[in-house]
Structure 1
Amino acid sequence: MTTPTHTVTNQVPPLVGYDVFRTDAALTEAVARHAAPARRAQIEQELSELGVSAGSAQAQRWAEEANTYGPVLRTHDRYGNRIDEVDFHPSWHRLLGHAVGAGLTDAWSRPDGHLRRAAGFLVWSQAEAGHGCPVSMTHAAVPALRADPELAAEWEPRLGAHSYDPQLLPAGAKPSALFGMGMTEKQGGSDVRANTTRAEPLAEPGTYALTGHKWFCSAPMSDGFLVLAQAPGGLTCFLLPRVLPDGTRNPFAIQRLKDKLGNRSNASSEVEFSRAWARRVGEEGRGVATIIEMVAATRLDCALGSAALMRQAVAQAVHHATHRGAFGGPLIDKPLMRNVLADLALESEAATVAALRLAAAYDADTEQERHLRRLAIAVIKFWVTKRCPVVAAEALECLGGNGYVEESGMPRIFRESPLNSVWEGSGNVQALDVLRVLQREPDALNAFLSEIGLARGADHRLDGAIKDLLAELADLDGIESRARRIVERMALVLQGSLLVRFAPPAVADAFCASRLGSDWGSVFGTLPHTLDLAPIVERARPIPR
């Protein structure tokens, strides 16, 4: 029923029914660049199938429902028995099941596995970000488990399985499993060496009883958790299963779910252990060293997740400006709007290119690439996750008041945008980690400098930025207080070098002129007016099928 004044005109159609992968030029080019030629076509086909699903009305409906009807904690059953279960809307399970079925937890044992998995994670996270938490932790648990070959042989096939079973059953009764992680405690936060959870050795070698708490435990419905606790020999890594082999529940009490900023679909919780049974992973006292590869993998996923949010935000902004008319013509043709959209597109493309380069470094797995990963993941995690909130905010503004309405999906992107800068270590933690690597691991710096050096001579602004970075690194005066500035410059130089080598000239020129030159303002939309911006915006356009 309508009224005489209710005529709907000049409203933008929903961005739906498109291939999220095929319409992302930066991503498709990165996959083609890094994939082995013999496997490229198959990888691209799999990613396109996932991209069509991610851009479908069905996936958008799942995302909306999973965030509208959030998880509910049930601590006890009707008879008063402690059960500590979390109920999720069916759409959560559909999203998670689709991710697992697409192999987004399966990367470590297949050629080009990390490249394919990283690109898929970036694609599918654009449908909904919250369920990516257990997907990421399950993927990242594998290198930590490999510290114990027996545990790895038992669990790794389940973690990489392409099937999803949400039932709380003993791991041996399930074809697949999901993993969570518990490191931080109330008193310590990122300072995990301040943890107080105790691990008491039991009679069976390698088994312990854990007593203590975890202040943040995401995805508490997972089948197993990697946790840190104080054993007699010091801080140690443990595998804590949710259900014991005899079918009884491990003493794993979910105290409450966090009322948090960001997505509403995932359950973040506070948990208590009361002599919970666990298996040691690695040596006593080597907990941080054992779990550090898991941390590196989840840090890369932070960058990938932020790149996904940025790409979806930019896609929505460009789509809106394409279809919305204002001041006598389409918004996308207005010089100032074009400048804003091009600036946002540069940020998105630089994030995607850098994250995919580091995923490819996992597949290459040479000594040089391992050194590069050790330093560059912290650098890119720091910078890309910092840029995500400002990109989300500016993209939301491109939609005007419509972008401030929940139905547009932009508020959910905006709420999620700060998450990855906090998860797996805040900005200061990343910056201090970079300083630690610079001081202790010269091979990592050499690998980083070799990577950016591949573009030397191609752009004078990049050459100048590299020279300035080397001067910054050589100056040790007050280096800790300058750490953020140093890491920012490292990230921009790495992104610039990749774009100069691989992106179209218009993209590379605009990035170097703004991020590495001096002609750029403090907000988006201040690119030099002499640049050719139309190809950059067109490249970022998501074209519905």
Structure 2
Amino acid sequence: MTDLTQPVDPRVATNQAPALVGHNVVTSDVALTEAVARHGSPELVEELVPLGAEAGTEEAREHGVLANRHHPELTTYDRFGNRIDEVEFHPSWHWLMERAVGHGLQAAPWEQQEAGDPYAHLKRAAGFFAWSQTEPGHGCPISMTYAAVPALRADDAIAKEWTPLLAARSYDPGVRPRSEKSGALAGMGMTEKQGGSDVRANQTRAVRTDEDGWYALHGHKWFTSAPMNDLFLVLAQAEGGLSCFVVPRVLADGTRNRIDVVRLKDKLGNRSNASSELELDGTLAQRLGDEGRGVRTIIEMVAATRLDCVLGSAALMRHALAEASWHVAHRSAFGGLLVDKPLMLNVVADLAIESEAATALAMRLAAAVDRPGDAHEVALRRIALPLAKFWVCKRTPAMVAEALECLGGNGYVEESGLPLMFRESPLNSIWEGSGNVNALDVLRALGREPEVLQAWITEVGAARGADSRLDRAVDDTLALLGDTGALESGARMLAGRMAACLQGSLLVRFAPPEVADAFCGSRFGTTYGGTFGMLTSGSLRAIVDRSVPVVA
């Protein structure tokens, strides 16, 4: 009962959850640290502690807010009338970028792997996952820089020119030639307005110049993020067909390449990041790989960016879960803490197992990148990347929306940070191939590369006999492959089932029994309604306690 004799000061807030700051984003995430130790080592977790500590600071949270409040601005001409096509970012963007590069989240792992580091990509993936929770937009140029290196290796000379700068832990923004920079960033321009994902419909032309290997490009690129980056991988039509090219922002002699930024996209989310339309008119570019082999050349870049789509979506899930579980652990309603209310407990536990399943699968894929000489790992990566890209990215918007609702009206207010996450949540499902494109890529892999199905069977088979619900789900999924007449129309169902089975296998083998039981009982059960908060098995309190961040 409220004591009506005591005055209430409306200027003082009570029963509000404190801001979630001052925690270590890495060590507070039990699912993440267990996965890193499992696929790497406990020492690897220790190496990530400084990054996790910085990501959980109030300063990092504030910079993430400011980078999204103050959007990038395009200046096409300087005050004298010279065409410059420069994008200006808020200082908070540069703060975030400087630390992301400094932590080696761009292309550093490729050189570390060559130097003998067995866990270079796993460590980078865990760091990218944790640091993305400060602000997701700046992860785009970081991701593209990471993904550019394996594509550049199609030409040893080009790779040797650019890789050291792309891998350098020095953030050096500005439009200057390669020789004057201590670090570089990469972008990509694949799609055009008439084709989108159908890149073979591209109309940008590539005409040979007098210099061997160099071409002049003429055309329009519909979506090119981070137009201030130092080089771009683009697709264009040469005499021999669709080909891949490296486009430097500034030429070796210091002159600016002809890259006209037509406009910046006004996007639903990802607003801290500048996504642009480019016009190329005599733009100089160096061919990468053979003419007519453009898709094959750039496919390694696509694979790496798809991994980051999974990591980015899993990071959004974890960030949203952390805010929700933190809130219900501190907010009271109807006579007790929200976390003690059975239905809220059910909802947050369900969000927690969704997040843990996404984290486990993302780290498993990152570990596969660290083993390029293992045939099973290569085949698993080929099939599991489009599976995870489809499933994890598709699950993210619903999951983030449910986490937002846990905060009630507070979650719908910008200051909570959840609206930013919600606007961001559909992006990774679209970028690097929509849901349909990835589901069809699964069919393509199954049809052309029989070893990928065996890799999936081997991976899920490692948990065979441990949970009857998972066993039935695997059998039912294999039965879907027998209906060849409905494979394309049912590609989404197949991809979703295959991805969920991979997640279930990982949780059954490595997660606490209550997490695996709740996942298999819901995702493979007969009563699952497709929304969160309908768990019928598992120790819900233990699941939720596992998910709440720890603030020092």
Query: With structure 2 as the length reference, what TM-score do the two structures score?
Result: 0.97
In structure 2, distance between residues paired with 1:447 and 1:335: 40
Q: Which residue pairs with 1:388 in the alignment?
A: 396
Letter matched to residue 209 of structure 2:
L
Letter matched to residue 145 of structure 1:
L
**CA shift at 1:3, angstroms?**
8.7
Identity between Structure 1 and Structure 2 (%): 63
**CA shift at 1:519, angstroms?**
2.6
Question: Could you list the runs of 4 or more consecutive aligned residues of structure 1 that deviate by over 2 angstroms after TM superposition?
Answer: 2-7
Q: Does 1:227 align with 2:234?
A: yes
- 2:11 pairs with one of 6, 10, 13: 6
Q: Which residue pairs with 2:347 in the alignment?
A: 340
- 2:315 pairs with one of 302, 308, 313: 308
Distance 1:326 1:472, change over 3 A: same
- 2:507 pairs with one of 499, 503, 509: 499
Secondary structure at 1:435's aligned position in 2? helix
In structure 1, distance between residues paired with 2:176 and 2:45: 36
- Is contact 2:314-2:355 (8 Å) kept? yes
- Is contact 2:154-2:288 (8 Å) kept? yes
Q: Does 1:142 align with 2:149?
A: yes
- Is contact 2:187-2:227 (8 Å) kept? yes
Distance 1:457 1:229, change over 3 A: same
Q: Which residue pairs with 2:63 in the alignment?
A: 62
In structure 2, distance between residues paired with 1:278 and 1:5: 64
In structure 2, distance between residues paired with 1:419 and 1:482: 23
Q: Which residue pairs with 1:324 in the alignment?
A: 331
**CA shift at 1:502, angstroms?**
0.5
- 1:511 pairs with one of 495, 519, 524: 519
In structure 1, distance between residues paired with 2:220 and 2:232: 13
- 2:528 pairs with one of 520, 526, 533: 520
Q: Which residue pairs with 1:88 in the alignment?
A: 89
**CA shift at 1:8, angstroms?**
1.4
Give matches, 1:55-134, under 5 Å: 55-105=56-106, 106-110=108-112, 111=117, 112-134=119-141
Secondary structure at 1:343's aligned position in 2? helix
- Is contact 1:521-1:527 (8 Å) kept? no
In structure 2, distance between residues paired with 1:44 and 1:483: 37
**CA shift at 1:400, angstroms?**
0.4
Q: Which residue pairs with 2:164 in the alignment?
A: 157
Secondary structure at 1:16's aligned position in 2? coil
Q: Which residue pairs with 2:173 in the alignment?
A: 166
- 2:264 pairs with one of 257, 264, 274: 257
Q: Deviations over 1:285-335 (max 9, x none)?
A: 000000001001100100000000000000000000000000111001110
Q: Does 1:33 align with 2:35?
A: no
**CA shift at 1:368, angstroms?**
1.5
Q: Which moved more, 1:362-371 or 1:94-103?
A: 362-371
Letter matched to residue 6 of structure 1:
R
Secondary structure at 1:109's aligned position in 2? helix
In structure 1, distance between residues paired with 2:197 and 2:270: 22
Q: Which moved more, 1:349-358 or 1:44-53?
A: 44-53
- Is contact 1:114-1:359 (8 Å) kept? yes
Secondary structure at 1:302's aligned position in 2? helix
In structure 2, distance between residues paired with 1:99 and 1:327: 43
In structure 1, distance between residues paired with 2:63 and 2:539: 39
Which structure 2 segments of 5+ residues have no match?
A: 1-6
Letter matched to residue 107 of structure 1:
P
In structure 2, distance between residues paired with 1:3 and 1:509: 47
In structure 2, distance between residues paired with 1:279 and 1:180: 15
Q: Does 1:270 align with 2:277?
A: yes
- Is contact 2:515-2:538 (8 Å) kept? no
- 2:454 pairs with one of 443, 446, 451: 446
In structure 2, distance between residues paired with 1:293 and 1:474: 30
**CA shift at 1:522, angstroms?**
2.4
Q: Deviations over 1:133-172 (max 9, x none)?
A: 0000000001100000111111111111111000111012
Secondary structure at 1:523's aligned position in 2? coil
In structure 2, distance between residues paired with 1:3 and 1:254: 56
Q: Which residue pairs with 1:196 in the alignment?
A: 203
Q: Which residue pairs with 2:214 in the alignment?
A: 207
Letter matched to residue 421 of structure 1:
S
Q: Does 1:471 align with 2:472?
A: no
- Is contact 1:314-1:345 (8 Å) kept? yes
Letter matched to residue 405 of structure 2:
E
**CA shift at 1:5, angstroms?**
3.5
**CA shift at 1:4, angstroms?**
4.1
- 1:19 pairs with one of 21, 24, 27: 24
In structure 2, distance between residues paired with 1:257 and 1:167: 18
- Is contact 2:63-2:93 (8 Å) kept? yes
- Is contact 1:74-1:86 (8 Å) kept? yes
**CA shift at 1:256, angstroms?**
0.3
In structure 2, distance between residues paired with 1:441 and 1:372: 11
Secondary structure at 1:48's aligned position in 2? helix
**CA shift at 1:389, angstroms?**
0.3
Q: Which residue pairs with 2:491 in the alignment?
A: 483
In structure 1, distance between residues paired with 2:161 and 2:337: 58
**CA shift at 1:17, angstroms?**
0.6
Q: Which residue pairs with 1:46 in the alignment?
A: 47
- Is contact 2:232-2:247 (8 Å) kept? yes
In structure 2, distance between residues paired with 1:6 and 1:352: 41
**CA shift at 1:109, angstroms?**
2.7
**CA shift at 1:494, angstroms?**
0.5
Secondary structure at 2:182's aligned position in 1? coil
In structure 1, distance between residues paired with 2:386 and 2:343: 34
Secondary structure at 2:530's aligned position in 1? coil
- Is contact 1:339-1:526 (8 Å) kept? yes
Secondary structure at 1:92's aligned position in 2? helix
Secondary structure at 1:284's aligned position in 2? coil
In structure 2, distance between residues paired with 1:531 and 1:4: 43
Q: Deviations over 1:35-87 (max 9, x none)?
A: 1x4xx41x323311111111101101111111111100000000111000000
In structure 2, distance between residues paired with 1:512 and 1:485: 17
Secondary structure at 1:237's aligned position in 2? strand
In structure 2, distance between residues paired with 1:207 and 1:408: 50
- Is contact 2:260-2:280 (8 Å) kept? yes
Cα-Cα RMSD: 1.0
- Is contact 1:70-1:89 (8 Å) kept? yes
In structure 2, distance between residues paired with 1:423 and 1:407: 27
Q: Does 1:457 align with 2:465?
A: yes
In structure 1, distance between residues paired with 2:463 and 2:209: 56
Letter matched to residue 212 of structure 1:
G
**CA shift at 1:209, angstroms?**
0.6
Which structure 1 segments of 5+ residues have no match?
A: none
Secondary structure at 1:474's aligned position in 2? coil
**CA shift at 1:7, angstroms?**
3.4
Letter matched to residue 12 of structure 2:
T
Q: Which residue pairs with 1:285 in the alignment?
A: 292
Q: Deviations over 1:65-117 (max 9, x none)?
A: 11111100000000111000000001100101100000001111322111000
Letter matched to residue 100 of structure 1:
V
